Amino acid sequence: MSPATLRRCTRCVLPETHETITFDGEGVCNICRQQEFKREAIDWTQRKSDLDAIVEAYRGKGDYDCIVPFSGGKDSTFTALYLVREYGLKPLLVRFDHGFLRERLHENTLRVIRRLGVDLHVFTPNWKTTLKLMLQSFLEKGDFCWHCHTGIFAYPMWVALHHKTPLIFWGEPSSEYTAYFGYDQSEEVDEKRFNRFVNLGITAQDMFIRLQGNVDERDLKPYTYPPLRELRALGYRSVCLGSYIPWDVKRQTALIQEQLGWQGDQVEGVPPGYEYEKIECMFQGVRDYIKHIKRGYSRTSHLTSLDIRNGRLDREAAMGMVERHEGLRPRSLELFLEYMGITLEEFLDIAMRHSISPYRHDPARDVAGPPTHDFPAWPRGDGLDPEQARAQIGRWRETQGGGKG
């Protein structure tokens, strides 16, 4: 089945292979219906009062007023701006450096922390462990970002404990994109949410077992969620700012550009006009390409669907953008293969094993996309040794009943 023949929402362009999606009798998806609830049923004035109360209840409780997990992308930058300018809070920005941050992001970060006058805490995990986790996650889930998902959501909670700072502010709620939570539900960014979809169903302890002692167990602590008894003793609250104020990514991006000098960047597979989206990672294009192999769509479908729901784009124009920009093989894939120590054939074999029915990808129809302007400067070397990668793949194949092949 080709992307063009997938069933899609009659209002936005999300297809039937999107996680958590369902369609009602009119063919409208549940994500679009959530946005109706967001616009029409939520009392945002009351939500803002609730936010005021939370801020005042926690102000001055710890070394900082709050923790802001901070990639330096549009959402975490807006969150920091809002909390500092609206409430005069003293936040600690906490960055989990997944290993592939781009130069524009570093430039933005320097401007943001200077203009806001805030502290930044950066943690960079063991590189060799990171690569092994990436490969294992790709093998098991067709998603190499387990280290990133879990590190970003677990590590700031450890920092909150260390600094005795119980309030943690995240940016957008997940209901902007999926239906793991709806806007009619309370979404706390806690261990329940972490286990529901952040960690892909694999704990750090699982990873230690599956890597068969080829990593130091202590290197996995940043990927574990802190003990609930310790978080409760701290009296923690971990919430999304977007649960209390209407989340509008384009309006917010304009604000951080104007007030903080934040700049967007080119991202593989992302159309012109969306340069604010996912500029953090060198391998965003590879991640989106894998999604296309598995599900028959990628980031342009998300971005244009958001614009349709916000009345900024009609569906026909969105489908045109999807057809032009999705599915291009990213130039960064060659660097990703070097880091993982695998071949293109191995990459495609692994990715296609995770296909979501009814989509079935045909790699022979893929067309190469252009490189980003900064691709030639991305660091090379220090990847997994191909023999080690092959051994790791072999152990995984044995668990699949496919022998060592």
Domain residues of the chain, as ranges?
44-243, 267-398
Check: CB of residue 280 under 8 Å from CB of residue 71. Answer: yes
Model pTM greater than 0.85?
A: yes
Burial of 184 (0-12, 13-18, 19+ CB in 10 A): exposed
Could you give the percent of the chain with pLDDT greater than 90?
Answer: 94
Determine the residue type at 188.
E
pLDDT > 70 in the chain, percent:
99
Domain 44-243 falls in which CATH fold?
Rossmann fold (3.40.50)
Answer whether residue 405 shows pLDDT above 70: no
pLDDT of residue 403: 44
**Sorting pLDDT into bands at 50, 70 and 90, what band is 401?**
low
Q: Has residue 125 got a pLDDT over 90?
A: yes
| pLDDT 10s digits, 37-48 | 999 999 999 999
pLDDT value at 211 more than 60 = yes
The answer on pLDDT for 110 being more than 90 is: yes
Residue 186, pLDDT score: 84
Strands of the 237-240 sheet, one edge to the other: 119-123, 91-96, 66-69, 167-170, 237-240
Would you state the pLDDT for residue 404? 41
User: What DSSP assignment string belongs to 87-123?
Assistant: H---EEEEEE--S-B-HHHHHHHHHHHHHHT-EEEEE
* pLDDT value of residue 14: 98
Residue carrying structure tokens 């995770």: 354
The neighbour count for residue 54, using CB atoms within 10 Å, is 16
- pLDDT tens by residue, 336-371: 999 999 999 999 999 999 999 999 999 999 999 999
Mean pLDDT, rounded, for 55-72 = 97
- Average pLDDT estimate for 181-191: 91
Task: Please tell me the distance from the alpha carbon of residue 226 to that of residue 241, in angstroms, as a whole number.
Answer: 22
Please tell me the number of Cα atoms within 13 Å of 371 on its side-chain side.
11
Residue type for position 44: W
pLDDT at 95 over 90: yes
Residue 150: its H or E element: helix 146-162
Instruction: Please give the mean pLDDT across all residues of the chain.
Output: 95
